[in-house]
């Protein structure tokens, strides 16, 4: 294998979603503004499962809750992948870049045990 990058599972998803939309003539609806709204709506459907739970209950979902939450997580990923595709952003590469950037903004020894914003971290 000459390509050093790991194969990208999101790429398969991207293509599946393109085909799904094409078969239904849905590209006309998939503008960036509409997709970011849909993404936000899906995140809220996920959030709805957690809003009234105690922190403890939120880490001990029953089987029915787990299945519902799994499906909402999937919906969030699907719209995220679709939006990134429309915006021509490679999600995996963008995420790798962001982790690197975050590592520089939040040095482990300064950020340990604190959620202060990076602009407020003091050496």
Binding of its own copies at residue 58 (CB under 8 A)? yes
Rule CB under 8 A: say whether 24 interacts with its own copies: yes
CA-wise closest residue to 85 among 36, 21, 15, 6 = 15
Task: Using CB under 8 A, count the residues that bind its own copies.
Answer: 74
Separation CA 71–CA 77 (nearest Å): 10
Among 3, 33, 63, 119, contact with its own copies (rule: CB under 8 A): 33
| Distance of closest approach, residue 119 Cβ to its own copies, in angstroms | 14
Contacts of 116-123 with C-beta under 8 Å, sequence gap 24+, read none
Told to check if 17 binds its own copies by CB under 8 A, we report yes
Helical H segments across the chain, by residue range: 9-24, 32-48, 63-86, 91-105, 108-111
Query: Which has the closest alpha carbon to 81: 1, 6, 19, 2?
Result: 19
Shortest CB 27 distance to its own copies, Å = 10
Tell me if 123 contacts its own copies by CB under 8 A.
no
13 binds its own copies (CB under 8 A): yes
- Which member of 115, 119, 120, 122 binds its own copies (CB under 8 A)? 115
Please tell me the distance from the alpha carbon of residue 40 to that of residue 47, in angstroms, as a whole number.
Answer: 10
Out of 8, 15, 105, 118, the residue judged to bind its own copies by CB under 8 A: 8
């Amino acid at each position: 294998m000459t390509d050093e990058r790991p194969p990208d599972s999101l790429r398969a998803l991207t293509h599946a979603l393109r085909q799904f939309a094409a078969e239904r003539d849905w590209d006309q609806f998939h503008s960036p503004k509409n997709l970011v709204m849909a993404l936000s709506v899906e995140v809220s459907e996920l959030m709805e499962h957690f809003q009234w739970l105690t922190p403890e209950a939120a880490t001990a979902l029953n089987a029915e809750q787990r299945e519902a939450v799994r499906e909402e997580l999937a919906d969030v990923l699907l719209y995220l992948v679709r939006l990134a595709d429309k915006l021509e952003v490679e999600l995996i590469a963008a995420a790798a870049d962001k982790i690197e950037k975050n590592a520089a903004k939040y040095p482990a020894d300064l950020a340990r045990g604190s959620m202060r914003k990076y602009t407020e971290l003091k050496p």
